[in-house]
């Protein structure tokens, strides 16, 4: 990620409706996104005689950048959800999960250092980077967060069994939308995928030999998309166009068919999900005339996987914090401060007194099988670009309110005495 990829918009408004039935929870999101193309993601392109991965930020989303970047990255909406088991999340939301050493931060640790670590590396999780985690996954006081001091596997399993993790469902415009699902994750020592299989996989490829798969030419002429067309804004239709490579539409790559200048094939073929990874169903539509996304997500209140999914019940109160990605991944997104969400009940939250809008949300009970959104209230959730602030910056001895933060006696809403809604005025 380069410095060029700061978003042109530093704030967003996320229109949100929430309802539940006797069996399910439902969310509906809508936000303005004037730049289209956010359903194109991570492509392999035949360019100048070899295959190259075009997986950087999308070229239509950069602010003040006239460089000819070659990237495609999907739009996403996600949220963190907690039932009160993770200390500090009610006060600090997603900032609790951002730590020294994480990828895309100035302090990012090297792949070599991660591979050498007993837990994260080649003899453990087999990771090559550090991603979101909660301080409770590390030794020391609850707020201490050195990734190198991660707890033992037995301790982490005990935390999961006690619900000490953050639920992280996500709708992805390319990697899940065509299958009618979201993807499901949880944050403890790492941002893990939930049990089972999610909606996408990764195909092998080589600069000389090309990808493993292409489209069946009967599905898409030439076996590939045309980079030149898409780079100039001729996107396949998000609702019924061909842009995602589903395994049932894939055939082995044939250079006689799909090796031509600008041929473009997704690196991430789609597959049917199952297990906890498939808890969330979802549907998203991009209105190209209005320049807006409308996304619905829903799942059962109670699932078969309580060790990686926060269980919900009518009358329950949860902490909730959403985020939006556009044309880029990692930390390059817009995030909300934490909110309290009650299922049919009005929660109380100390952040309320520091906001011009509500920080206390109510999921409305509906009797029908699915909500009638026209009959339900809408909350406007202000989102901000968070920059590269780390949890260690907040808990440092140098922070003037470090003691309050370490004791969870202050919230993000009051910590900076700035209501994110004011950024939108």
Q: What is the pLDDT along the chain (425 residues), one digit of tens a residue?
A: 444 456 667 789 999 999 999 999 999 999 999 888 999 999 999 999 999 999 877 766 554 445 566 788 999 999 999 999 999 999 999 999 999 999 988 899 999 999 999 999 999 999 999 999 999 999 999 999 999 999 999 999 999 999 999 999 999 999 999 999 999 999 999 999 999 999 999 999 999 999 999 999 999 999 999 999 998 889 999 999 999 999 999 999 999 999 999 999 999 999 999 999 999 999 999 999 999 999 999 999 999 999 999 999 999 999 999 999 987 777 778 999 999 999 999 999 988 888 878 899 999 999 999 999 999 999 999 999 888 889 999 999 999 999 999 999 999 998 876 666 665 55
Question: Is the CB of residue 46 less than 8 Å from the CB of residue 259?
Answer: yes
Q: What is the pLDDT of residue 62?
A: 55
What is the spatial distance between Cα 174 and Cα 330, in angstroms, rounded to a whole number? 16
Predicted confidence at residue 69, as pLDDT, reads 60
Backbone φ and ψ of 230, nearest 5°: -70, -35
CA pair distance 294, 99, nearest whole angstrom? 32
DSSP three-state, residue 384:
strand
- The answer to whether residues 343 and 363 touch, using CB atoms and an 8 Å cutoff, is yes
- Burial (0-12, 13-18, 19+ Cβ within 10 Å), 377: exposed
Strands (E), 127-235: 166-172, 183-187, 191-193, 205-206, 210-211, 213-215, 225-226
**Tokens 């990237």 correspond to what residue?**
71
């Amino acid at each position: 990620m380069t410095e060029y990829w700061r978003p042109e918009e530093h704030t967003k408004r996320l229109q949100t409706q929430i309802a539940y039935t006797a069996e399910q929870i439902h969310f509906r999101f809508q936000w303005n996104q004037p730049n289209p193309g956010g359903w194109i993601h991570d492509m392999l392109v035949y360019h100048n005689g070899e295959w190259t991965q075009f997986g950087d930020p999308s070229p239509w989303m950069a602010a003040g950048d006239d460089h000819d970047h070659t990237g495609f990255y999907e739009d996403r909406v996600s949220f963190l959800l907690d039932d009160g088991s993770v200390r500090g999340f009610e006060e600090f939301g997603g900032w609790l999960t951002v730590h020294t050493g994480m990828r895309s931060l100035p302090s990012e640790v090297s792949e070599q250092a991660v591979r050498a670590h007993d837990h994260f590396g080649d003899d453990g999780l087999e990771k090559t980077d550090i991603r979101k985690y909660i301080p409770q996954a590390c030794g020391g006081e609850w707020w201490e967060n050195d990734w190198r001091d991660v707890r033992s596997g037995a301790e982490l399993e005990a935390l999961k069994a006690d619900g000490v993790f953050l639920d992280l469902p996500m709708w992805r415009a390319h990697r899940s939308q065509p299958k009618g699902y979201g993807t499901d994750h949880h944050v403890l020592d790492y941002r893990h995928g939930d049990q089972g299989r999610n909606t996408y996989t990764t195909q092998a490829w080589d600069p000389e030999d090309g990808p493993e798969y292409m489209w069946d030419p009967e599905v898409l002429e030439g076996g590939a998309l045309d980079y030149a067309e898409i780079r100039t804004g001729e996107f396949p239709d998000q609702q019924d166009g061909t842009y995602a490579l589903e395994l049932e539409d894939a055939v082995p790559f044939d250079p006689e068919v799909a090796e031509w200048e600008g041929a473009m094939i997704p690196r991430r073929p789609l597959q049917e999900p199952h297990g906890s990874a498939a808890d969330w169903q979802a549907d998203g539509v991009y209105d190209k005339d209005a320049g807006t996304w409308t996304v619905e997500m829903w799942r059962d209140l109670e699932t078969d996987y309580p060790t990686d999914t926060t269980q919900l019940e009518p009358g329950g109160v949860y902490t909730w914090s959403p985020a939006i990605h556009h044309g880029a991944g990692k930390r390059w997104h817009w995030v909300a401060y934490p909110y309290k969400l009650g299922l049919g009940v009005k929660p109380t939250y100390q952040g309320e007194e520091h906001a011009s809008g509500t920080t206390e949300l109510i999921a409305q009970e509906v009797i029908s099988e699915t909500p009638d959104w026209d009959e339900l209230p809408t909350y406007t959730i202000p989102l901000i670009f968070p920059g590269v602030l780390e949890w260690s910056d907040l808990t440092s001895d140098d922070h003037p309110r470090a003691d309050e933060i370490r004791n969870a006696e202050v919230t993000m809403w009051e910590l900076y005495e700035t209501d994110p809604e004011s950024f939108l005025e």
